[in-house]
Amino acid sequence: MNCLEIERQLDAYIDGELAPAESAALREHLAGCATCSRRLAERQSLGQLVRQAPYYPAPDRLRMAVQATRNSRRLTPTMLAWAASMLLAASIGGVMMAGTRRARTAAESSASIANDVVAGHVRALMGDHLFDVRSTDQHTVKPWFLGKLDFSPPVTDTAPMGFPLIGGRLDYIGGRPVAALVYQRRQHTINVFVWPDTQPAPPEAESQRGFQVQHWTRGQMTFWAVSDLNQAELGEFARALQQ
């Protein structure tokens, strides 16, 4: 590879969009070329600076206006009938739930946990209850769970890898209390749900409703990470956490 080719691929490289073989070839060239290394460093510091740009969250007024549009469309007679039947179903459902939960197969339960995990993530972000303990210090977050859970979740500081810890809270997944650890990447929030599970499971990655979900087990604990980050970066986070 010559410098011209490197220059063309440098952006794709820092954006994690190159195939592993191409990345390796590029790294090999960078190791021996001061000009290209300088260009890479310049691009990286540009990225750090640009990611400080303001992020504009939706104003409450807009959120309410969108909800109102949604509700006015929903109030058709068929919809009302549907809502009434849902209410009835919900009251019956409460009774049936205990029986059906036990009957689920492992695959179904994994899919339903992924669902729960995404729902937990959305709930925390929308309801604005993201933290019970707000701290970037793992030695503050970990002891906070003492006495609140029947296990002690491992809390890792991944700030050096670009994923700072920002806090934690108690949450409920699959009907049991779990530890939720909150990390950040740029303006994106990552929720990691942790609870004990002695059955090792192969790591999985999936996408649900535009969110990325990654699951792995380690040291008799099961981990579910969810975020609106892209899959590559959430994967990077999962690896950082497992180191």
3-state secondary structure of 98: helix
Tell me the closest approach of the beta carbon of residue 238 to other proteins, in angstroms: 15
**Closest by CA position to 177, among listed 138, 145, 213:** 145
In the bound state with other proteins, the residue whose beta carbon lies nearer, of 54 and 94, is 54
Q: Which residue has the tokens 């999936």?
A: 206
Tell me whether residue 138 or residue 217 sits nearer to other proteins (CB atom): 138
Question: Minimum distance from CB of 221 to other proteins (Å)?
Answer: 26
- DSSP letter for 201, please: -
Interface contacts to other proteins, rule CB under 8 A: 8, 10-12, 15, 17, 42-43, 46-47, 49-59, 61-63, 65-67, 69-70, 73, 111, 115, 119, 122, 125-126, 166, 184-188, 207-211, 228-233
Between 70 and 199, whose beta carbon lies closer to other proteins? 70
Compute the distance between CA of residue 24 and CA of residue 217 in angstroms, rounded to an integer.
29
Q: How far is the CB of 200 from other proteins (least distance, A)?
A: 26
Cβ 55 to other proteins shortest distance, Å: 5
In the complex with other proteins, which residue's Cβ is closer, 155 or 166?
Answer: 166
| Nearest residue (CB) to other proteins, 90 versus 146 | 90
Q: Is 163 exposed, middle or buried (0-12, 13-18, 19+ CB in 10 A)?
A: buried
Q: E strands along 87-219, which residues?
A: 133-134, 165-173, 176-185, 188-196, 204-208, 211-218
In the bound complex, what is the minimum distance in angstroms from residue 1's beta carbon to other proteins? 17
User: Least distance (Å) from other proteins to the CB of residue 199?
Assistant: 24
Q: Of 228, 231, 182, which Cα lies nearest the Cα of 55? A: 228
Take residue 74 and report the two structure tokens written for it: 């929903």
Identity at 186, one-letter amino acid code? R
Q: Of 10 and 173, which has the nearer Cβ to other proteins?
A: 10
